[in-house]
Structure 1
Amino acid sequence: MKIFVSAGEPSGDLHGANLIEALRVRLPGATFLGYGGPRMAGAGATLIYPLVNLAVMWFLQVFANIATFVWLIFRADRCFREDRPDAVILIDYPGLHWWIARRAKARGIPVFYYVPPQLWAWAGWRVKKVRKFVDMVLCSLPFEPDWYRERGVPNAEFVGHPYFDELDERELDEGFLRDWSVEARGGPLVAILAGSRTQEVKRNLPIMLRAAARLAVDHPTARFAVASLHERHKGLAEQIIEATGREDDAPKLPAIEVHAGRTPELIRMADVAWSVSGSVSLELMMEALPTVILYKLNAIDLFIARPFIKAKFITLVNLLADAEIMPEYLTTRDVSVELAAHARTWLDDPIARARATANLAALRLRVARPGASQRAAGRIADWLESRRSEPPSQSPAYHGPHPAASHEGRPAGPSSRRDTTA
């Protein structure tokens, strides 16, 4: 059996690698190929193109890379025609993946969407593409199956968020933790998580640095550490720190360390965090770390996106809680004053800090459920095995959710529009 898997972001690459490993258990002898990154390659997938290197977002960046995206669509179609995989699995990364799903269905190949894009938050009209091109939606959030079914997508199942699998199995560097502990270094630690995409780092890190400068005035012993995805982003962060420090109107920056590949350790040690929105918020929730979420856009992107934003919150943790337990800012302006103020409150007021950590810990107890990779692999394997066993005269359509799937205890799905700050 041959399976095509496509992921376009570092988190999707990790989810894809874990899913491939789980599928190998259910489908011994299966081979994997597709678009992804080093994690999927390490799990044994043959990469046709390193799509993770093209992790772009928002309208202008997509248009700037349109020729590459068109080539990727045609390259996937050639694979479907010549190599003929038995299934196509797509992981988040909407836009390109709709076109890949379209070409797979045109070739009669079943399509599974794992960790589907958050259509309920910003692009509900795209559910018609799911109805037309996707055979099964493997949902990561508990309210998503009902949302899809209410819109004519019956084959949507909640398998859980794969991020909890990765957190459950992750091993931290104990030596790094000892060297950077408050006992070794002194003073509270503020973790700065500016994003896994270059665009995110460029837009969000300068605001976070200015917040660090403001906070350091009241907390001169505070330590600040930037968590970079890899060495290339570490170099970019160091350039931004140097440039921000030269700004005439910026307060003097404190000493700021930059670490590549140390996000889990920095989150474990931190007293406060400033972070972009994304799946990393689930890791921050798991550590019950008081966090402010920032997502800076340029004015054009926010103007275009504003009419489509339907969710109350931009942060996964807040969506799961149906409350803003992580203060969040989707904005075009400098909110360094606000970031510093939240951090100052949590560092100075034990009651406020205890309230923030208790809310996160309670949500963790309710939603953190590892095993998504295994459950998703089971649903995919069952579907493919049942299709192979059907007589030729029968329709290959999937006939309903797996009887073991449970949808009890779901929070209500998001419905109202988030008020953005511009």
Structure 2
Amino acid sequence: MKYYIIAGEASGDLHGSNLIKALQVKDRNADIRCWGGDLMQQAGGVLVRHYKEMAFMGFLEVLLNLGKISNAIKFCKTDIEEFKPDVIIFIDYSGFNLRIAKWAKQKGYKTNYYISPQIWASREGRIKDIKRDIDAMYIILPFEKDFYEKKHKYPVEFVGHPLLDAIGERKPVDSNNFRNEFQLDATKPIIALLPGSRKQEVQKMLSVMLSVVKDFSEHQFVIAGAPSLDEDFYLPYLKNPQVSFVINRTYDLLSISHAALVTSGTATLETAIFKVPQVVCYKANWLSYQIAKRIITLEFISLVNLIMKKEVVKELIQDDLNTKNLKSELLKILDGPNRHAQLEAYSKLEKLLGGRGASENAASRIVENA
């Protein structure tokens, strides 16, 4: 069968690549065309457009790039019609995907959503569009089932979280070899810096994260570079000899880290699965933040806290994300009760995520229902 998959950011590329591998096992004749990234292409999908061409962060950035987004939507529709897929699979990326889904449903295409748009966080009214345009929804967060089925009477299937597979299947890294490869101090505990994957968010987060380096001379700070950004982009942030850099090795870095400063997003959950105590950071431009503050109704922004339904990791948002607060919170997780409380909560969190096999579960349902 023919599958058309649309993902719009680094996490979607990761989950999309594992889904592609699972689809190829379930359907030996799978013909897969996709929007995504290098991982989806390496997994066997024919890459139509790379997500880094559409990586806009915040309401203002989207407004400034409406023309580019509109052209991409038109191109996507044309490409789908030429490919004639048996099923279209949407992965998160709601602003783009729900527009395509509306058109696709009207055209008679089978529509599946893997990794739900976060309508439980904002613009809940989009449930009407999902009910109208999506034939099947496969969710990866346990609390989403009650949201869809109990609150909105829309049937969904919880397939588990694909990060458990992505992390569980990786080869263990040798700490000494890793440190030697990137010329890291062999004696200092590592504090990982995960500033995000988009230029705008990295620029906002990384300077604040690095502002605490001088206060932790007994530690090695290592920036996790995003595969969507060139290494040269990070050069201005590497002037301090206490700061090092790795690119496309985030999981290896987390596996040997003592603590982490993490931009809100999928990375907070990845850090938790690696059992690394963390401080969650988020800062947007003023206008985007003011809009978000008025439409987002959640008590927390990190997936860790949302899944656990309580504050497990400290969230420093907007004006609260400053040197003083970041230093204070980092001290709390380097040692002592805050560190142990996070690690204990992480074990409970992993059980709630439902175990491994999400990609295989989703692929089975997609093939069966296509």
For normalisation by structure 1, the TM-score amounts to 0.82
The match for 2:259 is 272
User: In 2, Cα distance between the equivalents of 1:326 and 1:254?
Assistant: 29
Alignment pair present for 1:191 and 2:211: no
User: In 2, Cα distance between the equivalents of 1:84 and 1:261?
Assistant: 34
Residue of 383, 392, 398 corresponding to 2:369: 383
Alignment pair present for 1:373 and 2:359: yes
Give runs of aligned pairs for residues 114-263 of structure 1, distance below 5 A. 114-152=114-152, 154-174=154-174, 176-177=177-178, 179=180, 185-213=186-214, 215-216=215-216, 220-230=217-227, 232-242=229-239, 255-263=242-250
Distance 1:153 1:85, change over 3 A: farther
User: In 1, Cα distance between the equivalents of 2:111 and 2:196?
Assistant: 30
Alignment pair present for 1:308 and 2:295: yes
Question: How far is 1:91 from its partner?
Answer: 0.4
The match for 2:74 is 74
- Determine if contact 1:37/1:53 at 8 Å carries over to the other structure: no
The match for 1:413 is none
- Determine if contact 2:213/2:242 at 8 Å carries over to the other structure: no
The match for 1:296 is 283
Alpha-carbon RMSD across the aligned residues, in angstroms, is 2.2
3-state DSSP of counterpart to 1:226 = strand
Question: How far is 1:279 from its partner?
Answer: 1.4
Task: Specify the code of the residue in structure 2 equivalent to 1:124.
Answer: E
User: In 1, Cα distance between the equivalents of 2:136 and 2:366?
Assistant: 9
Distance 1:149 1:361, change over 3 A: closer
Task: Specify the code of the residue in structure 1 equivalent to 2:344.
Answer: A
User: In 2, Cα distance between the equivalents of 1:305 and 1:12?
Assistant: 22
The match for 1:328 is 315
3-state DSSP of counterpart to 2:245 = strand
Aligned residues: 369
Question: How far is 1:184 from its partner?
Answer: 6.2
- Determine if contact 1:302/1:332 at 8 Å carries over to the other structure: no
3-state DSSP of counterpart to 2:211 = helix
Distance 1:334 1:377, change over 3 A: closer
More displaced stretch, 369-378 vs 281-290: 281-290
Residue of 323, 327, 336 corresponding to 1:350: 336
Distance 1:360 1:233, change over 3 A: farther
Distance 1:272 1:82, change over 3 A: closer
Name stretches of at least 5 consecutive residues in structure 1 with no aligned partner: 243-252, 385-422
Question: How far is 1:138 from its partner?
Answer: 0.6
Task: Specify the code of the residue in structure 2 equivalent to 1:50.
Answer: H
Task: Specify the code of the residue in structure 2 equivalent to 1:323.
Answer: K
Alignment pair present for 1:50 and 2:50: yes
Question: How far is 1:261 from its partner?
Answer: 1.7
User: In 2, Cα distance between the equivalents of 1:103 and 1:206?
Assistant: 42
The match for 1:6 is 6
- Determine if contact 1:5/1:89 at 8 Å carries over to the other structure: yes
Distance 1:176 1:227, change over 3 A: farther
Distance 1:230 1:20, change over 3 A: closer
Deviations 1:242-289 (A, max 9, x none): 5xxxxxxxxxx6621111122112212221110011112222112221
Deviations 1:180-237 (A, max 9, x none): 89x9621222111111111111110011011223x32xxx222111111238454222
Task: Specify the code of the residue in structure 2 equivalent to 1:211.
Answer: V
Distance 1:231 1:134, change over 3 A: closer
Question: How far is 1:368 from its partner?
Answer: 5.5
User: In 2, Cα distance between the equivalents of 1:35 and 1:351?
Assistant: 44
User: In 2, Cα distance between the equivalents of 1:20 and 1:287?
Assistant: 24
Question: How far is 1:127 from its partner?
Answer: 1.2
User: In 2, Cα distance between the equivalents of 1:21 and 1:40?
Assistant: 9
For normalisation by structure 2, the TM-score amounts to 0.93
3-state DSSP of counterpart to 1:257 = strand
